Amino acid sequence: MSRTPIALILGLVGFLAYVVAVLLVSDHVRGLHWTLESAFFAVAGIAWVWPAKWLITWAMR
């Protein structure tokens, strides 16, 4: 089996789990100061890029 379908399945499942985790944590962040909210959403919006990059690199080997 090629790495591409494995990476696709892992990527979709992992991204879905990441979104659920961020949504659960964001419920607790929403009441904080706006700078903390902004920092959280900025980090959460960008943090998925590194695992996705690793997964794509692994799949293309």
Please name the residue that has the structure tokens 């992992």: 14
What is the pLDDT confidence band of residue 1, given thresholds at 50, 70 and 90? confident
Residue 59, pLDDT score: 94
User: pTM of the full predicted structure?
Assistant: 0.83
Q: How many CB atoms lie within 10 A of CB 7?
A: 19
Mean pLDDT, rounded, of the chain: 94
Residue 48, pLDDT score: 94
Which letter does DSSP use for residue 2 in this model? Answer: -
- Asked if residue 34 has pLDDT above 90, the reply is yes
